[in-house]
Amino acid sequence: MKKTSIFIVILLLIHLLFPAFAQEPSSESSSLGNTNISEDKSKISAGASQSEGLWNLQRILLDLLIILVAAKLGGIVAQRLKQPMVLGELSAGIIIGPSLLKLVPSPLILLKIAGESSGYVVDNLANIMEAKVIGLLCQIGVIILLFQVGLGYNIREFVRVGKSSLLVAILGIIVSFVLGYAASLFFAKVGYWSDIRLIHLFIGGTLTATSIGITAGVLSDLGKLRSKEARIILGAAALNDVGGLIILSGVTVLYLTGTLRPQAILTTTGIGIGFLILSLWIGVKWIPRWFNRVVKLRVKGILITTAFSFMLLMSYLADVTGLAYVIGAFVAGLILAQAFEHNKIRDQLKPIGEVFIPFFFVAIGIMVDLSGISGNLSRILIIAGVFSVVAIISELISGWGVIDKTVNRYAVGVGMIPRGEVALVFAVYGLLNRIILPWQYTALVIMIMVTTFITPVWLRRALPELGERNLPNQ
C-alpha cells in the first residue's frame, strides 16, 4: 500500500509540474502577438504544429493513466468497505475531476465551447482534445457495459420466472415513472427548473431503471442466487432495464423531433419495441447459428472480434434508427446470449470490459463538478433526497406484484431499489444532450449513489432465512 501511495504522489507531481513548463512558450508567444499578431500567428502555428500533437499525446496518455489507476484504487477501497466497485469508481472520478484535484478535464467542456469565441477554443485546445478522448472512451465503455449486461440474460429465463417477475417489473416501471414525473413537475412549479414536459419525461424514465449488477452481486455474496426471491428480482430487473431503455429511446426521438403529440409518442414507442422485436426475432434465429460456424474456423481471436464487431454494428443501427446506441449494444448481447459459445464470448470480453468500462463510471464522477454548485447545494440535496425516496417507495410497492405467497415480497422490493448502470446512462445522455443542467445531473448521480449504497446492507437484512426456499436445480 505504501508503494502505491508513493506512486500516486509521484504521478500527481508530474501532472502538476508539466503544465507549468508547457505554459512558458504560450506566454512568450502572447507577448510577441501584442506587437504583431498577424505576422506571428503563422510562425506560432508553424512552430507549434510539430510539438502540439506530441504534447496532446503526452497529456492524453497521462489522463488515461490517472483514470485507470484511480478507478482501480477506488474499486479496491469500495470492496474493502464491502460496497460495489461502481461506488468506488464514481468517487474516484469526483476526486480526480474538477470538483477536487482537477487532474483531468471534464467532458462537459465540450458543451461550453458551442457559444464561446475562437480565442477561448484556442486557449483551451489541449483540454478540449483530452475531453474528447475521455468522452469517446466513456461511450465505448458504456457500449461494452450494456453488451455485457445483455450477454448475461437468457431470454428463456424470462419465460421461466413467470408472471411474478413481469408484474414486479410493470409495477416498478409505472410507479417509478409516475412518481418521478410528478416530482419533476412539483420542482418545476416551485421554481427549481422550467416546466418542460421533456424534462419530466426524462427524469421519470431515469428513475425506472434498476441495477441488476449490484443486486446480483449481493445475492451471490449471500449464496441466494438460486432462491425464488432472487429469480424474481433478477428477472424483473432485466425486464426493468428493457423498459427503461425503451423509455430512453422514446425520450431520444421526442428530443430530436421536438414534438410531444400522442401520435409521436406511440410512434416512438413502436419504433423502440419494433427494433427490439425485429432484431431479436431475426438475431436469435440466425446469428447464434452463424457464430457457432464462425468458431469452427479456428482462427485466433475470431470469436471475440466477430462478437465485438456485431456489438458495434447493432449500436450503429440503433443510432441510425434514431434510438439510443446503447439499446443496440444491449440487443446485441441478448442475441449472442443464445449462442452456444456465449460463455466463451463473455470470458474473452471480460478483460476488455475491465479496461474500458471503468472509463464510463469514472467519467460520470468527473462530470460531477461540486466546485460550481455552491449556489445550488441546498436544491441538489433536496432533489437527490426526494428522488431517492421516490426510488425506494416505488420499488417497495413493486414487490406486491409477486403472486407466490411463500415469497418474501419485502425482500423483492428491496432488491429492486438500486439505480445503477442504466440510470447512469440516462443521466449522462440527458446532460450531454442538454436536456438537464449540470446541477440537476449532480442530483441524479447522488440519488444513484445513495440507492446503490443502501441496498447491499438493506438486502442482507431482508434476506435472513432464504436458504430453505431455494429452487431445485434445473
pLDDT digits (tens, 9 = 90+) for 45-84: 444 444 444 457 888 899 999 999 999 999 899 888 877 7
Looking at this protein, which amino acid is placed at residue 245? Answer: L
Domain count, the chain: 1
Cβ within 8 Å of residue 65, ≥6 positions away: 11
Among 369, 421, 452, CA closest to 238: 421
Q: Does residue 48 lie in a domain region?
A: no
Q: Does residue 6 lie in a domain region?
A: no
CA angle 121–124–125, rounded 5-degree value:
75
In order of 139, 227, 269, 449, the CA distances from 84 in angstroms are 21, 22, 33, 10
Q: Does residue 168 lie in a domain region?
A: yes
Q: What is the pLDDT of residue 377?
A: 82
In order of 85, 291, 311, 343, 437, the CA distances from 338 in angstroms are 28, 10, 14, 10, 40
Q: Does residue 99 lie in a domain region?
A: no
In order of 111, 303, 314, the CA distances from 292 in angstroms are 44, 9, 19
Q: Does residue 55 lie in a domain region?
A: no
Q: What is the pLDDT of residue 109?
A: 72
Among 392, 389, 263, 289, CA closest to 342: 289
For the record, the C-alpha cell of 261 comes out as 403529440
Q: What is the pLDDT of residue 162?
A: 67
Among 356, 362, 382, CA closest to 439: 382
Contact 224, 463 (CB under 8 A): yes
* φ, ψ of residue 352 in degrees (nearest 5): -65, -45
Q: Does residue 63 lie in a domain region?
A: no
HEC assignment per residue over the chain: CHHHHHHHHHHHHHHHHHHHHHHHHHHHHHHHHHHCHHHHHHHHHHHHHHHHHHHHHHHHHHHHHHHHHHHHHHHHHHHHCCCCHHHHHHHHHHHHCCCCCCCCCCCCHHHHHHHCCHHHHHHCHHHHHHHHHHHHHHHHHHHHHHHHHHHCCCHHHHHHCHHHHHHHHHHHHHHHHHHHHHHHHHHHHCCCCCCCHHHHHHHHHHCCCCCHHHHHHHHHHHCCCCEHHHHHHHHHHHHHHHHHHHHHHHHHHHHHHCCCCHHHHHHHHHHHHHHHHHHHHHHHHHHHHHHHHHHCCCCCCHHHHHHHHHHHHHHHHHHHHCCCHHHHHHHHHHHHCCCCCHHHHHHHHHHHHHHHHHHHHHHHHHCCCHHHCHHHHHHHHHHHHHHHHHHHHHHHHHHHHCCCCCCCHHHHHHHCCCCCHHHHHHHHHHHHCCCCCHHHHHHHHHHHHHHHHHHHHHHHHHCCCCHHHECCCC
Contact 225, 151 (CB under 8 A): no
Q: Does residue 318 lie in a domain region?
A: yes
Q: What is the pLDDT of residue 430?
A: 85
Contact 394, 169 (CB under 8 A): no
Q: How many residues are listed for the chain in this entry?
A: 474
95-138: per-residue pLDDT in tens? Answer: 998 888 889 988 877 666 655 556 666 666 777 888 888 888 98
Contact 451, 417 (CB under 8 A): yes
Residues facing residue 470 across a β-bridge: 227
Q: What is the pLDDT of residue 388?
A: 94
Burial state string for 42-53 with b = 16 or more CB within 10 A and e = fewer than 16:
eebeeeeeeeee
Q: Which domain holds residue 314?
A: 138-469
In order of 149, 151, 336, 346, 357, the CA distances from 350 in angstroms are 12, 11, 15, 6, 10
Q: What is the pLDDT of residue 209?
A: 80
What CATH number is associated with residue 234?
Answer: 1.20.1530.20
On the 0-12 / 13-18 / 19+ scale of CB atoms within 10 A, 354 is middle
* φ, ψ of residue 163 in degrees (nearest 5): -70, -30
Integer Cα distance of 185 and 179 in angstroms: 10
Q: Does residue 334 lie in a domain region?
A: yes
CB atoms within 10 A of CB 347: 12
Mean pLDDT in consecutive groups of 10 residues from the start of the chain, 474 residues? 44 44 37 40 42 65 94 91 81 89 82 62 74 88 85 70 83 93 93 86 87 67 71 79 74 68 66 76 83 80 91 88 76 86 88 91 82 75 93 92 85 86 78 83 86 80 56 39
pTM, 2 dp: 0.70
Q: What is the pLDDT of residue 77?
A: 93
Among 388, 377, 376, CA closest to 179: 388
